[in-house]
Amino acid sequence: QGWGDPPYDRLDDVMSVAREYVDSRNKIAFVVIHGSEPLGHTYPGKGAMTPDRLLQLATRFPDNSFIFSHFGGGLPFYERMPEVSKALSNVAYDSAAAPFLYDTNIYDTIESLVGSTRIFFASDFPLMTQRRALDHLRSAELPLYTQKMILEVAGQVYDFSRSPKNQT
């Protein structure tokens, strides 16, 4: 948050580094951006990166890969517009703070808009515990496969199998 208004010239160097980064496992660097809803209740940390600005950012840097937090402040709903969907092919969404912002239907709704492979489970820790976020996801009436995909996408991208706890 706080890096200015469009056209986001100040981000050119950072985005260039992120584009060029590929680690030894051939994993790309995602740029995680805090998304905010233009409507709804006010909360600490609610910022100005609303869906229109997130779309401008993704369009300005089409060769970068993004994760827009908080379900992109509702941006997936606009992916029903073909030109928006095309412009956001480099974007995934995370579920950070979902219990604070949405009811459990949000997962099924977003999955129907963008598919489960573009939804990353997230908690927004320390604002909210991982347990609370996980309980929220698990209480959603989702097919087990969809829940599993949402949980595994984050695990694969962040490669939790390589955490020190799992090293031999």
Q: Is 168 exposed, middle or buried (0-12, 13-18, 19+ CB in 10 A)?
A: exposed
Centroid of chain to Cα 156: 14
Q: What is the pLDDT of residue 47?
A: 84
3-state helix, strand, coil in the chain (%, to 5): 50, 10, 40
Q: Is the pLDDT of residue 167 over 60?
A: no
Mean pLDDT of 82-103: 95
User: What does the alpha-carbon distance between residue 48 and residue 34 come to, in Å, rounded to a whole number?
Assistant: 9
Q: What is the pLDDT of residue 48?
A: 85
Could you give the CA distance from residue 45 to residue 48 in angstroms, rounded to a whole number? 10
Query: Stretch 102-119: mean pLDDT, rounded?
Result: 95
Give the per-residue pLDDT at 160. Answer: 52
Residues paired with 119 in a beta bridge: 93
The pLDDT, as a whole number, for residue 3 is 64
Percent of the chain with pLDDT over 90: 61
Overall average pLDDT of the 57-79 stretch? 95
CATH of domain 9-159: 3.20.20.140
Contact call for residues 44 and 97 (beta carbons, < 8 A)? no
Residue ranges per structural domain of the chain: 9-159
Start-end of H helices in 28-143: 51-60, 82-87, 98-101, 105-114, 130-139
* Partners of residue 93 on adjacent β-strands: 68, 119
Q: Is the pLDDT of residue 112 over 90?
A: yes
Q: In the sheet that 30-33 helps form, which strands lie side by side, from edge to edge?
A: 30-33, 65-68, 91-94, 119-120
- Determine the 3-state secondary structure of 32 from DSSP: strand
pTM above the 0.75 mark? yes
- For the stretch 77-89, pLDDT in tens is 999 999 999 999 9
Per residue in 146-164, pLDDT (tens digit) is 999 999 877 776 655 543 4
